Structure formats: C-alpha cells, structure tokens
Amino acid sequence: MLQSDRSRPEVVTGPLGEAMKRESLPPPNTSRWVVRRKAEVVAAVDGGLLSIGEACDRYGLTLEELASWQRAIEREGMPGLRATRVQHYRQVHERQGRWS
C-alpha cells in the first residue's frame, strides 16, 4: 500500500530525541555514513517520513543495507551501527542463535 504525502507526518522523533523534518535529513549525496546519519534515516523510515523505497533511492542504498541498519538498531541501539563493531555483534548473536 502506498502512503500519500498528506498522510505522512511532517515531523518525527530522531534518534537522539530531536524533532526531524525531511529538510533536516542527511543530504542525498551523503557518502560518509556515520552512526548518527544512519540512525536518522532509520528513524525517518520507521516514523513514516520516508518510505523504504524513497530512502533507498534517495541515498543509493540497497534494501539489504537499510534492513541491516534497522536490525542493528533493534538489537544493539545506535552503537550497533558502528562499522567497526559489526563483526563483534555478528559473532555474539551467532553464539546466541539470534543472527539472521
């Protein structure tokens, strides 16, 4: 089901509790994905500010990449988005039988 612009919220709560609008999202040409920017995109999708397709198109992400960001936040919070910690968290969850 497609969501019309009228039914979308104008403001959602960002990852640090701040109000986020479409204008405050990372720019479409973002090439350096720090934890905060990844978390902002996930919050925008989860809050309905952007659809999954819009986020992938706008930022040149694959569906798998965006889904991995969402899973990382669900499991570990924002620290799970750190590129240097991905392998550590993967090993922890594999041992617990939770990685998928």
Average pLDDT rounded to a whole number, residues 46-70:
96
Give 5-49 pLDDT, tens digit per residue: 568 899 999 999 999 999 999 999 999 999 999 999 999 999 999
pTM attached to this predicted model: 0.79
Extents of the domains making up the chain = 13-95
What is the share, in percent, of the chain residues with pLDDT greater than 90? Answer: 69
Complete DSSP assignment for 19-45? EE-GGGSPPTT-----HHHHHHHHHHH
Count Cβ atoms below 10 Å from residue 96 Cβ, excluding itself.
Answer: 8
Give me the pLDDT at residue 89, please: 57
Complete DSSP assignment for the chain? ----GGGS-S-EE-TTS-EE-GGGSPPTT-----HHHHHHHHHHHHHTSS-HHHHHHHHT--HHHHHHHHHHHHHH-GGGG-GGGHHHHHHHHHHTT---
Fold entry, domain 13-95: Arc Repressor Mutant, subunit A (1.10.10)
